[in-house]
Amino acid sequence: DQQVKQNSPSLSVQEGRISILNCDYTNSMFDYFLWYKKYPAEGPTFLISISSIKDKNEDGRFTVFLNKSAKHLSLHIVPSQPGDSAVYFCAASGGYGNKLVFGAGTILRVKS
Partner 1 sequence: DVKVTQSSRYLVKRTGEKVFLECVQDMDHENMFWYRQDPGLGLRLIYFSYDVKMKEKGDIPEGYSVSREKKERFSLILESASTNQTSMYLCASSFSPYEQYFGPGTRLTVT
Contacting residues toward partner 1, per CB under 8 A:
4, 6, 9, 32, 34, 36, 41-46, 49, 89, 91, 93, 97-105
Report whether 88 contacts 100 (CB < 8 A): no
Report the distance separating Cα 57 and Cα 65, nearest Å: 7
Report whether 74 contacts 57 (CB < 8 A): no
User: What is the nearest approach in angstroms of partner 1 to the Cβ of residue 26?
Assistant: 15
User: What is the nearest approach in angstroms of partner 1 to the Cβ of residue 4?
Assistant: 8
User: What is the nearest approach in angstroms of partner 1 to the Cβ of residue 41?
Assistant: 7
Q: Which is nearer to partner 1, 69 or 98 (CB)?
A: 98
Please tell me whether residue 82 adopts helix, strand or coil conformation.
Answer: helix
